Amino acid sequence: MFKRAFLLLALVCLAAGAAWAANDPMVGDWKLNPQKSRLIDEMKVTSLGGNKYSFDFGGGSPETIVVDGTEQPGILGTTLAVSVVSPDEWRVVRRKNGRMEVQGIWTLAKDGNALHDDYTEFSDNGKTNHLIYVYERRGGGEGFAGDWVSASEQMDTVYAVQVRTYEGDGLSIINLSEGTTTNVKFDGKDYPNVASGRSFVSSGLRVNERKVMLTTKIGGKTVGTDEISLSDDGKTLTMTVHVPGRSEPNVLVFERE
């Protein structure tokens, strides 16, 4: 359910790593190519008895929720509500300050080994982003409880970003999909940036003109480390994002517009 957060995290990391000079080759207009990208998502649902479950959507911060449709405290100042629509369908809703941020409609396959997630996120700017995920069960578990991993997604929304220089030795990133702007200087220090109500700090190392290594934290905790590289022809940015607790990274491929 925090797929949006980790995609957004990747876009924030792009801002942190790209400051080089006024003629930085990473500056430009970029659009995510879903066909060339590989978005791995993993969520762990653990039954705690009765209708109480632990939900870990990544980052190592599980939430304990009673599955009864009521809004309950979640992470990062949000609430989480999980409703049983039928034995094979759950509805998962995350809100912040009363506003719906995310809705997921989970449907369990008849054999119990696959889970379909009709996932919609609602941005502060009024835009709606929609993805379809298909998860496979890893290991044991019954019903919705289990370790679910998806390498199959259908993205119906275009993710576009603009990368610009900031105060000479820094960089601005304008996320057109989320309606957010992040300004960062690239000097190895942690810089705060607020994206859709979540506060990140990012620091980075410039390996060379076409490659940067980044670390991003929330509340002092590392939530992502990644490598961003620019192709020799300057037309493609490839971002490999490692999330704690996940064995495989996301690979996001952006093409210059």
Q: What is the pLDDT along the chain (257 residues), one digit of tens a residue?
A: 455 445 555 555 554 443 344 478 888 898 988 888 887 888 999 999 999 999 998 766 799 999 999 999 998 889 999 999 999 999 999 999 999 999 999 999 999 999 999 999 887 777 788 888 899 999 889 999 999 998 766 666 677 878 777 777 666 767 776 666 666 667 778 877 765 556 777 777 777 878 877 777 877 888 788 888 899 999 998 888 888 777 778 888 999 99
CATH number for the domain that contains residue 246: 2.40.128.20
The domain boundary residue, chosen from 155, 182, 212: 155
Question: 62 is in which domain, residue-wise?
Answer: 41-155
Question: Do 141 and 51 share a structural domain?
Answer: yes
Final residue in a domain of this structure, among 96, 129, 155: 155
Residues 23 and 50 in one domain: no
Tokens at residue 226, please? 């990644």
Beta bridge partners of 229: 211, 238
Threshold 0.75, pTM exceeds? no
Residues 32, 81: one domain? no
> Do 151 and 45 sit in the same domain of this protein?
yes
> Are 59 and 196 a contacting pair, CB within 8 Å?
no
Q: Give the phi and the psi of residue 64 in degrees, each rounded to 5.
A: -100, 120
Domain end among 95, 128, 155:
155
**172 and 147 in one domain?**
no
Q: Determine the Cα–Cα distance for residues 153 and 172; give it in Å rounded to an integer.
A: 29
Q: Are residues 136 and 232 in the same domain?
A: no
CA distance 156 to 76: 27
Asked if 63 and 147 sit in the same domain, the reply is yes
52 and 146: one domain? Answer: yes
Is 51 found in the same domain as 33?
Answer: no
Q: How many domains does one find in the chain?
A: 2
* Calpha distance 5→37 (Å, rounded): 17
